[in-house]
């Protein structure tokens, strides 16, 4: 299991501090939610951790290794996985073909024209295990573009897990989902391997309080609250700026 440490991290867009000197320790295997109002800096923080934003100040560590100046590809190889609101699926390929590509990426033999690459028995077995785990077996031969929105989000998560990440960043995994799809996504996230350190950005507080063991609250790019779900519920500053009095 691998921890994530963030030290005095700042990201500026022009004269605006999207996140401002944030320090945060996320323990190995934690289920850690980042919450806050729109514009608080939540997604910016995730992108700074996974390397999508390179113009940062401060430091980011994966375990004991500093990754602050590493490009996104290097961070992925070290074990940082992520899903954002806009997925990166190969829409013209089938569900299982998308999984095959993820496995080939992990093994260093990726090729979009993977049909010319041999698919080993172990890859086939692992793909079917993933499809079973994520409830996608019934649609494995379906072209990805024909899936429902909720199924596409689940496939995106399955692909991230296929890469065997040490830490997984999820940005609004239930956004735009129906109640049934949201419930299904919660159950899937709860089944993720305990060894994976999870950082979740989510607006749905029911999702947050069901999944998270610890919560960090951002407001205007700064941390205004940290703690267990019960501690956050009763934090008067968090109530004032985000949750309200009746949460």
- Per the DSSP assignment, residues forming a β-bridge with 22 are 9
Token duo for residue 190: 């709860």
Domain limits for position 109: 4-243
pTM for the model stands at 0.90
pLDDT of residue 115: 52
Task: Answer yes or no: is pLDDT of 113 > 60.
Answer: no
Contact residues for 113 (Cβ-Cβ < 8 A; gap 6+): none
Q: What is the mean predicted confidence (pLDDT) over 128-132?
A: 95
User: pLDDT > 70: what percent of the chain?
Assistant: 94
Task: Answer yes or no: is pLDDT of 24 > 90.
Answer: yes
- Strands 65-66 and 222-227 come out as unpaired
Grade residue 15 by pLDDT with cuts at 50, 70 and 90: confident
Q: What is the mean pLDDT of the chain?
A: 90
Grade residue 247 by pLDDT with cuts at 50, 70 and 90: low
pLDDT of residue 105: 86
Task: Answer yes or no: is pLDDT of 54 > 90.
Answer: no
Task: Answer yes or no: is pLDDT of 49 > 90.
Answer: yes
Closest Cα partner for 221 from 24, 86, 54? Answer: 24
91 contacts 144 by C-beta, under 8 angstroms: yes
What Rg value do the Cα atoms of the chain yield, rounded? 18
pLDDT of residue 2: 82
pLDDT of residue 121: 87
3-class SS of residue 82? strand
165 contacts 79 by C-beta, under 8 angstroms: yes
Task: Provide the terminal-to-terminal Cα distance of the chain, rounded to the nearest Å.
Answer: 33
Instruction: Name the domain count of the chain.
Output: 1
CATH number of the domain enclosing 189: 3.40.50.300
Q: How far is CA 220 from the centre of its chain?
A: 22
- Per the DSSP assignment, residues forming a β-bridge with 61 are 5, 66
Q: What is the mean predicted confidence (pLDDT) over 19-26?
A: 95
pLDDT of residue 127: 95
Task: Answer yes or no: is pLDDT of 4 > 90.
Answer: yes
pLDDT tens, position by position, 71-111 = 999 999 999 999 987 777 999 999 999 999 999 888 887 65
């Amino acid at each position: 299991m691998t921890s994530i440490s963030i030290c005095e991290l700042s990201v500026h867009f022009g004269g605006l501090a999207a996140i401002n000197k944030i320090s945060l320790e996320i323990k190995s295997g934690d289920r850690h939610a980042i919450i806050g109002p729109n514009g608080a800096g939540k997604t910016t923080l995730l992108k700074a951790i996974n390397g999508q934003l390179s113009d940062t100040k401060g430091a980011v560590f994966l375990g004991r290794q500093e990754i602050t100046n590493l490009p996104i590809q290097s961070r992925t190889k070290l074990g940082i996985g992520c899903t954002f609101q806009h997925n990166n699926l190969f829409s013209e390929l089938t569900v299982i073909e998308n999984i095959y590509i993820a496995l080939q990426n992990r093994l260093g033999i990726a090729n979009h024209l993977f049909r010319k690459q041999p698919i080993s028995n172990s890859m086939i077995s692992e793909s079917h295990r993933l499809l079973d785990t994520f409830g996608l077996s019934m649609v494995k031969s379906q072209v990805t573009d024909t899936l429902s929105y909720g199924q596409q989000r689940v496939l995106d998560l399955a692909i991230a897990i296929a890469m065997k990440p040490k830490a997984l960043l999820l940005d609004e995994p239930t956004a735009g989902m129906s109640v049934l799809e949201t419930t299904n996504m919660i159950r899937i996230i709860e089944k993720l391997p305990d060894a994976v350190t999870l950082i979740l950005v989510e607006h749905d507080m029911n999702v947050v309080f069901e999944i998270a063991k610890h919560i960090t609250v951002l407001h205007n790019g700064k941390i205004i609250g940290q703690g267990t779900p019960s501690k956050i519920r009763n934090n008067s500053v968090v109530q004032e700026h985000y949750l309200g009095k009746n949460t």
